[in-house]
Amino acid sequence: MKKILRVDMESLQYKLEDISSHYANLGGRGLTSQIISEEVPPAADPLGPENKLIFAAGILAGTSVPNNGRLSVGAKSPLTNSIKEANSGGTAAQKLARLGIQAVVVEGMAKELTSLKIDRNGVTFLPAANSKGLGNYRLIRELKGEFGDNIAIISIGPAGEMKLRASSVAVTTPDFHIRMASRGGLGAAMGSKNLKAVVIDDQRAAAVEIKDRAKLKESAAALSKGIFVHPLTGLMKELGTASLVNIIGDALGCLATKNYSLGRFEGAEKISGEYIAELMKKRPDAKSEHRCMSGCILNCSNIFTDEEGEMIVSGLEFETIGLMGSNCMIDDIDIIAHMNRLCNDVGVDTMDTGGAIAVTMDAGLLAWGDGEGALSLVKEIGKQTDRGVMIGNGCKFTGERLGVGRIPHVKGQCLAAYDPRGLKGTGTTYATSTMGADHTCGNALPSPANPEYNPTAPTGQGPVSRFLQTYFAAIDSLGLCLFASLPALDIPELQGHLVSSVSAIQGKPLDEDYLTKLGTSVLQAEKKFNDAVGFTRKDDRLPKFFLEEPLPPSGNVFDVPEDEIDSVYEF
């Protein structure tokens, strides 16, 4: 039976316990949210001892199901004050699963900076005073040198130690590149525990228990085949998520540009997936295909190098390009990549940081398109200057500090790079998500498989957002990569293979509407917690400028009726 590992940072003690009935057959986001809802007082200070930080493997983790290794990180958010789950690729979830651990629940606050080592023998508490102030890149090199190549590392940089509200949690890939559980300030929650890093070593661990291996083999193979033949897979392999720059900008006119005042960016071609792919062909040791976790069949990440072949960052993704590029009117992809690296190293969310930089430009602190100035500003986070601390606390904090009227956030979290005036289903998700403006909770993009859906229509967006939020809550609970789950929206029989895979792992029959029931239960737990915190329907709204300012070039405004927005969470 899988266990929950509880770690008390105050006493430096730990215990393994059987999963209770409250948490039975849950994983990933479903488990982090249920634990928070059940165990964290709604009035708890997100940076106080009553908050809990959870690392949870998905239900599918460590099995032969493709793209199964997402790690969910959960807590009450220091950024939004709401319930929060952010997830990341890497090897941590699969290694926890092989150790028989479904979740690590970190409680209390250590007196000194401490790291953890988790292996088949239990937990070792490691004094981490010598790691204080280290960036993630150096920290990971040192831990790898000390503990070897067969580990996964979860860590924070200086921003997490400083408890900045936009700080993030780093997770290592199989080849020790960095992926981030970026959103919601969960690096600050980790820093508040005085927890610098978690090292996970699954050497000599038993394989994940599978009740029906033959059934899982058949279901996983069918799922892999369906994902592999879907057109999205080829696009992801060729261009990665940066392929969205031209799609969202040129095709849809919804690319976040100049602090969400425009829908298209004149310099988009210089930061597009097509441009990046051609550039990487010319640069030594650059890779346009890279997998962030074992068992990935998409390879949608990349390794972006400079002209000499030195790695700048892996991977360079659409949201970073959108928020730090077009949203700031910066068309230099190398500058964006260097900002990305700095954010990974210090440990802050590139999205909220990019949103904050655009707000500083709106305030006249920097000129629009000043890439060197933006890069210098990001460097100030690690130097702990007033301006660095300001942007390290995110878009909302920065806007309020500078007195800017146009702050693109919901519940304190910056929007993603999709403007909601042209993608109104996504805008409805931004408004209503339990976690603030989070596109991964339900991004409603037009699809050839659903030609009747009109993303610019003012009505009909509530049901679309609700369906997608339910679906992706389930996907996050399975620990499946979001991009691997998209083909199943176009090919419904793939959802059946997903359900069959879970059935094979758990050894029990599951209803065909299993994913809907799972996703609904997750959303209900999250909504219950937020209601107890004090969130109301008034918090489920976009900033007024999206409702009042037409978006060039389309002239759209966000005009989804409030009663339709409010209907999303009427269970």
- 230-256 mean pLDDT: 94
- Identify whether 154 is part of a domain: yes
- Identify whether 144 is part of a domain: yes
pLDDT digits (tens, 9 = 90+) for 30-82: 999 999 999 999 999 999 999 999 999 999 999 999 999 999 999 999 999 99
pLDDT, averaged across the chain = 97
pLDDT at 20 over 90: no
Coil/strand/helix, residue 203: coil
pLDDT digits (tens, 9 = 90+) for 286-320: 999 999 999 999 999 999 999 999 999 999 999 99
- Identify whether 163 is part of a domain: yes
CB atoms within 10 A of CB 534: 10
CA 241 to mean position of chain CA atoms: 14
If phi over 0 gives left and psi between -120 and 50 gives alpha, with beta otherwise, what is residue 172? beta
- Identify whether 40 is part of a domain: yes
Structure tokens at 316: 């360079």
Pairing, β 122-127 against β 151-155: unpaired
Domain that holds residue 183: 3-201
- 447-470 mean pLDDT: 95
Structure tokens at 262: 């425009």
The CATH number of whichever domain residue 190 belongs to comes to: 3.60.9.10
Q: How far apart are CA 369 and CA 11, in angstroms?
A: 50
Residue 489: burial class (beta carbons within 10 Å; 0-12, 13-18, 19+):
middle
CB proximity list for 50: less than 8 A, separation 6 or greater? 40, 41, 44
Q: What pLDDT is stored for residue 571 in this prediction? A: 81
- Identify whether 374 is part of a domain: no
The CB-side HSE value for 2 (13 A sphere, CA atoms) comes to 30
Burial 291-325 (b: 16+ CB within 10 A, else e): bbbebbbbbbbbbbbeeeeebbbbbbbbbbbbbbb
pLDDT at 1 over 90: no
Find residue 107's DSSP bridge partners. Answer: 8
From residue 517, give the alpha-carbon distance in Å to each of 87, 101, 151, 349, 491.
21, 24, 35, 31, 19
Structure tokens at 225: 């085949």
The CB-side HSE value for 452 (13 A sphere, CA atoms) comes to 2
Tokens 């859906």, located at residue: 453
Q: What pLDDT is stored for residue 450 in this prediction? A: 87
- Identify whether 471 is part of a domain: no
- Identify whether 353 is part of a domain: no
Question: CA angle, 492 as apex, 489 and 84 as ends, to 5°?
Answer: 40
- 480-503 mean pLDDT: 96
Q: How far apart are CA 219 and CA 100, in angstroms?
A: 23
The confidence band for 277, taking pLDDT boundaries of 50, 70 and 90, is: very high
Q: What pLDDT is stored for residue 21 in this prediction? A: 83
Helices 514-533 and 461-478, packing angle to 10 deg: 100
CA 414, 416, 417, 420: dihedral to nearest 10 degrees? -90
Find residue 13's DSSP bridge partners. Answer: 8
In 3D space, the residue among 345, 339, 70, 78 whose CA is nearest the CA of residue 191 turns out to be 78
Structure tokens at 424: 């109104």
Largest interatomic CA distance in the chain = 62
Coil/strand/helix, residue 81: coil
- Predicted TM-score (pTM) of this structure: 0.97
Find residue 414's DSSP bridge partners. Answer: 409
- 448 vs 64: which has the higher pLDDT: 64
Give how many domains the chain has, as a whole number.
1
pLDDT digits (tens, 9 = 90+) for 343-395: 999 999 999 999 999 999 999 999 999 999 999 999 999 999 999 999 999 99
Share of the chain above pLDDT 90, in %: 96
- Identify whether 289 is part of a domain: no
CA 55 to mean position of chain CA atoms: 13
- Cis? peptide before 100, omega within 30° of 0: no
pLDDT digits (tens, 9 = 90+) for 145-204: 999 999 999 999 999 999 999 999 999 999 999 999 999 999 999 999 999 999 999 999
Q: What pLDDT is stored for residue 447 in this prediction? A: 87
Q: What pLDDT is stored for residue 198 in this prediction? A: 98
pLDDT digits (tens, 9 = 90+) for 115-140: 999 999 999 999 999 999 999 999 99
Helical (H) or strand (E) element with 54: strand 53-57
Q: How far apart are CA 538 and CA 217, in angstroms?
A: 48
The confidence band for 413, taking pLDDT boundaries of 50, 70 and 90, is: very high
Backbone phi, psi, residue 153, to 5°: -130, 130
The single-letter code of the amino acid at 177 is: H
Pairing, β 195-201 against β 413-414: unpaired
CA 32, 37, 41, 46: dihedral to nearest 10 degrees? 40
The single-letter code of the amino acid at 270 is: K
